Amino acid sequence: MDKNLMVSVSIVTYNHKNYISQCLDSVLMQETTFPFEIILGEDESNDGTREICIEYAKKFPDKIKLFLRSRKDVIYVNGYASGRFNMLENLKSTNGNYIALLEGDDYWTDPLKLQKQVDILEENKTLVACHHWQKIAIQKDEKYLEVDSPKDGYYSQPVSNVKAIFSNKLRLKSRTLMFRNIIDDNFFPDWFTKMAFGDVPLSFLLGKHGDFGFLDEEMAVYRQSGKGVSTAGLSELGHKQFTVQHFKSWIEIWDYADMHYNYKFHKEATATVFEFYNKIIPNLPFTLGAYIGLLKYNLTERQLLFYKTLPHTFWLLNLIFKLFTKKVKKKLKKL
């Protein structure tokens, strides 16, 4: 780490030909009283993104450090290629006191974003990270339009902690996040590379090192291109099956985080997993077999100790009993 270098901006990109220039320009426009670097990880795109990154690195050699990575190193999650290897290698290459995250199809809108976040983190040493609101860019015809991002259900207190994440009241969106550079060889547990999403597990890990500061400003844009990891498998699985898998992935994250904290926030985690199950249930076939399959998943596939999952087990058993009773009553009426 270079004590004179304040921020490392980690950008990961893959097949973002139409977006990467806007992403990089939004970082290069940052107005700061301190030096910052851009760690640009290009994941061997096949659409021309790599060539654009090389051009930018040549144009801004003092600012951009370009890493040309190979698809042979890609980490697969649930059978789909992810950018996790690229992300981890980028973070290992950072030299700044703080790290800010951005993906190649997203961008920042405030030229003072980095300055504002650094000021907050420098003033309050109890904070491990700082985040803010974002907008969403949705595609309409050939253009993307910025619209307000939903704010319901997200914690916007000036200071919060990891308990709010366990309670599903807080999400630290990667493109809004700046955190202290505490990355070392022991920071990421083995389970991190197994998770379907990277930002929430990272938030859980950061929460062990301090609180989260919040800026009540919209300074980033999340582009909904439909090509990210959050929608991987949608076309193959169909909406209902995809939704089931999606929330099972969230359960997996909460389970590993629960264990990572030695069940310190188990009450909050248990309540949140109930929320996830309630998202899964409406997307299952209304059959005993489907419900029993979910019970089997709860008993045999989750990582928690058996007795830690009992509240969910009893709840699922009750649902199965009600469904079975309903079917029996229907059959009796036909007799």
Looking at residue 332, what is its pLDDT?
67
CA 135 to chain centre: 16
Name residues whose C-beta falls within 8 Å of residue 78's C-beta, 6 or more positions apart in sequence: 196, 232, 233, 245, 249
pLDDT digits (tens, 9 = 90+) for 171-211: 999 999 999 999 999 999 999 999 999 999 999 999 999 99
For 64, what's the count of Cα atoms within 13 Å in the CB-facing half-sphere? Answer: 23
Mean pLDDT of 108-129: 98
Looking at residue 233, what is its pLDDT?
46
Looking at residue 287, what is its pLDDT?
86
What's the rounded Cα separation, in Å, for the pair 229 and 79? Answer: 11
Is 107 within 8 Å of 26 (Cβ atoms)? yes
CA 103 to chain centre: 11
**Strands 98-103 vs 107-108: parallel, antiparallel or unpaired:** unpaired
Looking at residue 288, what is its pLDDT?
85
C-alpha closest to that of 104 among 175, 56, 54: 175
| 95-99, 181-185, 234-238, 326-330: least confident range | 234-238
What's the rounded Cα separation, in Å, for the pair 256 and 195? Answer: 9
Is 62 within 8 Å of 31 (Cβ atoms)? no
Is the model's pLDDT at 229 over the cut of 90?
A: no
Is 288 within 8 Å of 330 (Cβ atoms)? no
Looking at residue 323, what is its pLDDT?
81
Q: What percent of the chain has pLDDT over 70?
A: 94
Is 251 within 8 Å of 276 (Cβ atoms)? yes
Mean pLDDT of 103-128: 98
For 105, what's the count of Cα atoms within 13 Å in the CB-facing half-sphere? Answer: 18
Compute the mean pLDDT over every residue in the chain, rounded to the nearest whole number.
92
Looking at residue 328, what is its pLDDT?
66
For 166, what's the count of Cα atoms within 13 Å in the CB-facing half-sphere? Answer: 24
pLDDT digits (tens, 9 = 90+) for 230-266: 444 444 557 899 999 999 999 999 999 999 999 999 9
What's the rounded Cα separation, in Å, for the pair 44 and 149? Answer: 31
